[in-house]
Amino acid sequence: MTESRPLLAVAWMMGALASFTGMALAGRELTAEMSVFQAMALRSIICVAVLGLIAWRAGFHKVATGRFRLHLVRSLAHFGGTYAWITGISLLPLAAVFSIEFTTPIWTALLGAAFLGERLTRWRLAGIALGFAGILVILRPGAGLFDPAALVVLGAAWCYSTVYAFTRAMAPTESPLAIIFWMNLIQLPLGLAPALFDWVAPSAQAWPWIAVIGIAGLTSHFCVAHAMRHADAALVAPMDFVRLPLIAVVGWMFYAEPFNPSVLAGGALIFAGNMTGLWGERASRRSR
């Protein structure tokens, strides 16, 4: 493991926060004039072009794989998650989408226990309980304010948890470059084929957002990976929560979205659940 450098990790996470925020804004702006599939196809075109150049410079042997079926299933799950996430961005307040997205580690823990043989320790169970409490606070079933679009974002979080479970299984043999390369290459025809049935010529105002959604789709992965290299996950994960108040401010400034105390409280509970599991597991390992 590389030497711990917290300040450098913070700098990389700031880049990740900017990338996630940029993707959300680009998704909102692009879906105002084109389909979600077209926005995803344009994103994939940019990502494949950039990753193709990187693979060419590094050598295409760096992205060679003997586990294409796993890449295919992982990419399908990620495609479904991205489609649901962008759809949620177009229908819900930005803060609500980000809050619900924080449930991804909860579903990852459950899938890891079900399919990878990972133990559900008391710390993980406590974190899962807090996470589900946060979901109830956000969704408020029975309050008459429930928006079905929230279930779409919840589906996105579930898809992303499947992606993380597959990434864990593939990590011993597949490089990060190979995983991201095949993900975008597989997703390109998946988004392009349905987009062609409803394709619209992007306006002049859309092109900067197309660039943002494409570049941010790569830099978000890149920045988080480098932050994890320079600091423990227990330090990096809390910084990720800054996304919620940040996107709430962005939503208020750009789209006049009101601050929703239930969304912020639910997001805080979900975050507390994530950190309970993370810090609890860390304490347990140290005590052994």
- Output the pLDDT for position 21: 94
Residue 1 lies in a domain: no
82 burial via Cβ count (<10 Å: 0-12, 13-18, 19+): buried
Chain centroid offset of residue 220 CA = 9
Query: How many independent structural domains does the chain possess?
Result: 1
What φ, ψ does residue 260 adopt, rounded to 5°? -110, 110
pLDDT averaged over 10-residue windows placed end to end, the chain, 288 residues? 70 90 96 97 96 94 92 96 96 92 85 78 86 85 65 92 85 88 96 96 96 93 78 67 88 92 89 82 65
Cα separation, 183 vs 176, whole angstroms: 11
47 touches 182 (CB < 8 A): no
Residue 82 lies in a domain: yes
pTM of the entire predicted model: 0.88
Please state the length of the chain: 288
Angle at 248 between CA 245 and CA 254, to 5 degrees: 140
Residue 121 lies in a domain: yes
Q: Which domain holds residue 87?
A: 6-197+204-287
Chain centroid offset of residue 165 CA = 13
- Output the pLDDT for position 1: 45
CB within 8 A of 32, min separation 6: which ones?
90
Residue 257 lies in a domain: yes
Alpha-helical (H) ranges within 148-260 are: 149-170, 176-195, 206-230, 233-240, 243-255
Cα separation, 71 vs 163, whole angstroms: 10
- Output the pLDDT for position 138: 85
Residue 26 lies in a domain: yes
- Output the pLDDT for position 215: 95
Q: Tokens for 227, please give them.
A: 């932050």
Give the CA count within 13 Å in the CB-facing half-sphere of 78: 24
Q: Tokens for 22, please give them.
A: 């940029």
